[in-house]
Amino acid sequence: MVVAGLDQTTLAGGCFWCVEAALLRLAGVEKVESGYMGGAVVNPTYQEVCQGDTGHAEVVRVTYDPAVLPFGDLLDVFFAVHDPTTLNRQGNDIGTQYRSAIFYHDSRQRQAALDKISALGPAFDDPIVTEVAEAETFYVAEAYHQDYFARNSGQPYCQYVVAPKVEKVRKYFAGKLKRG
């Protein structure tokens, strides 16, 4: 249940630790939950999803205030923190579970996602392969995945993969960051 005045969307851009850490810093973002969506297995585990045969993507469900952070601005950050031109891959993370996807929650989000992809397309050397699909059942990831970067920032993957994405958000979206 989403609180009145807030909205939700579900995004997949590679490892959910990266996307979660980047989006949590944005003003207007109330909550980011790591999880799984888009596959056929009910109540998948991380181990099952990592094997790449559940059909699920690692996703983040974002609850945000569109009066503070319009959906299009949220998508700008999303497209900046991952490579939407690589099919089923982000860096060394390879498989359908790492695909780029926007799981829309209503027709307005669907159209905004399609419009954003069309507008951003010329900025990339290769075509954007981001899937745009209706949100399905969201399966929350195991507790140790939630707020992973904040709790494990010294871990090598966090230092070499997640931290640069967070820094990119700080640098290029400074005006959209939470204060304090």
Instruction: Write the CA distances from 23 to 14, 26, 52, 80, 102, integer angstroms.
Output: 14, 6, 25, 11, 14
**Helix residue ranges per DSSP H, the chain:** 16-23, 46-50, 71-80, 107-120, 148-151, 156-157, 163-172
Active site includes 50?
no
- The tokens for 135 are 């949100």
Which amino acid is present at 53? Answer: D
Nearest of 45, 61, 60, 48 to residue 8 by alpha carbon? 61
Q: Which of 15, 18, 50, 158 is catalytic?
A: 15
Catalytic residues: 15
